[in-house]
Amino acid sequence: MTPFSLRRGMATLASLKKAGKVVCIGRNYADHIAELNSARPKQPFFFQKPTSTILLPGEGPVIRPRGVNLHYEVELALILNKRLKDFDPNDEQGALDAIESYALSIDMTARNVQNEAKQKGLPWDISKGFDTFLPLSKPIAKSAIPDPHNIELYLMVNGEVKQQDSTQLMLFRIPRILADISKVMTLEAGDIVLTGTPKGVGPVVPGDVMRAGIRVDGKELEEAKIEVA
Amino acid sequence: MTPFSLRRGMATLASLKKAGKVVCIGRNYADHIAELNSARPKQPFFFQKPTSTILLPGEGPVIRPRGVNLHYEVELALILNKRLKDFDPNDEQGALDAIESYALSIDMTARNVQNEAKQKGLPWDISKGFDTFLPLSKPIAKSAIPDPHNIELYLMVNGEVKQQDSTQLMLFRIPRILADISKVMTLEAGDIVLTGTPKGVGPVVPGDVMRAGIRVDGKELEEAKIEVA
Ligand SMILES: [Mg+2]
Ligand SMILES: [Mg+2]
Ligand SMILES: [Mg+2]
């Protein structure tokens, strides 16, 4: 099989780290909002992770900073192929056309740091931004995901299923997400967008093994697998 | 005079937009903390602006999004020349050595959006991240700024001085800033660090003209000037 890095016209592993930015939607699944006692947003809100958080397959473990309550959040990531500015939220086909490929991602979060930031009205950047806080799968060809709003995401810790839900449960779908982000900041080819996490987030400690993946019509996507300590 | 873009070994205007990330220190001047009724931080905190906010000299006006109370914050920016990870806060010379060049910057802020985010415990990214929200000067050679902790920053609106203070007033100096950021996220060559704003921030509306600059020993640095509507 041709490695992804050699396929013409698709994001390569190396190119992922050169993304101009990584933009992440918060609170995009109702049951996840409930489990964190958060308010349901009237519109998508988002934050950035620096590209220095990216951890590619085989690059080693997620590093837990001292004193941090480290949480996983499995999310579908979009890798864009064009510049978007003031994107039309009703343009379903345009949204799909703007996706170059997909990846599975884990939005690692220092939950205690985030909770303190929320209380004090401070930025989320530290809680979301430590090195290794964004494990990514290989890029996933668009052809492998006929409908990004109808796949199953899962995450297991030490063999136990913690998260497992369909992307059908997204509160704001991809065209709306791209519209709301690009009303604020121009999105560029290569930028990565994380679409939010379903319920089931929780802590991991050093030595735990996270395995995450995507099922399409019940079938596992090999290239979407993440296994990280 | 040789344009900066042709000088060997110094950041060029074009290269600024390719920065891997822009990291900004909040609340780094005591009088600015007082004017916003903010709490004085025990340690530096920081947030990111996407590189899509960068507005280079001559690229036109800052765009005020509808309904936004748009504030200026003049700040000294550092452009880095190397990777920094767990930088030593006591390494004064190492900090200077890690600076490739300087720039003057205006950290434009949607103050009402930021205030709402603070109240709700939401990220700052939207309030700081609109396109054109980071006017930059040309790169400034290190030789023009012998001591970054002893220069005067100023910002005028329609000819009236609004901000004018020495960088001596920084609460956390550059080595500490680089140390605290790089404990969280690895800094890379080309990354841009904003060092915080002195007192005097305030609103601008379309048509207002901001002029900002740096004085070293009372003398204006021509390359540090920003003039933007
Ligand atoms: Mg998340
Ligand atoms: Mg970037
Ligand atoms: Mg600022």
pLDDT tens digit sequence for A123-174: 999 999 999 999 999 999 999 999 999 999 999 999 999 999 999 999 999 9
Q: Which amino acid is at B180?
A: D
Give domain A4-228's CATH number out of 3.90.850.10, 1.25.40.80, 3.30.460.80, 2.160.20.10: 3.90.850.10
The DSSP annotation for A183-227 comes to HHS-B-TT-EEE----S--EE--TT--EEEEEEETTEE-GGG-EE
Closest ligand to residue A74's CA: 1
What are the domain boundaries of chain A? Answer: 4-228
Amino acid at site B49: K
pLDDT at B176: 98
Residue A94 has pLDDT above 50, yes or no: yes
Q: How many CB atoms lie within 10 A of CB B209?
A: 13
Q: Is B26 near chain A, with CB under 8 Å?
A: yes
Average pLDDT estimate for A204-213 = 97
Decide: B153 and B165 in contact? Cβ < 8 Å.
yes
Look up the CATH architecture of domain B18-228. Alpha-Beta Complex (3.90)
The pLDDT of residue B9 is 62
The partner residues of B201 in beta bridges, in order of sequence, read none
- State how far the Cα of A98 lies from the Cα of A87, in Å rounded to an integer: 10
Contact yes or no for B187/B193 (Cβ under 8 A): yes
Residues of A in contact with B50 (CB under 8 A): 20-21, 23, 48, 185
- Tell me whether A120 touches chain B (CB under 8 Å): yes
Amino acid B59: pLDDT? 95
Return the bridge partners of A49, or none. Answer: A22
Contact in structure between B119 and B86 (CB atoms under 8 Å): no
The residue whose two tokens read 């490739």 is B100
Distance B187 CA to ligand 2 centre (A): 11
Q: How far is CA A199 from the centre of its chain?
A: 14
| Inter-chain residue contact B126 with A184, CB threshold 8 Å | yes
Q: How far is B41 from chain A, CA to nearest CA, in Å? A: 10
Percent of chain A exceeding pLDDT 70 equals 96
Sheet-wide strand order for B45-49: B45-49, B22-26, B192-194, B74-80, B99-106
All residue ranges of chain B with pLDDT < 70 are 1-9
Q: Which residue of A has its CA nearest to B188?
A: A52
Which of A181, A189, A200, A186 lies closest to A47, judged by CA?
Answer: A181
DSSP secondary structure letter of residue A152: E
A178 has a pLDDT exceeding 70: yes
CA of A17, nearest ligand number: 2
User: What per-residue confidence (pLDDT) applies to B5?
Assistant: 42
In this structure, which amino acid lies at residue B130?
A: F
CA distances from B17 to A23, B134, B143 (A): 17, 11, 23
Rounded alpha-carbon distances, angstroms, from residue B159 to B75, B154, B212: 19, 11, 10
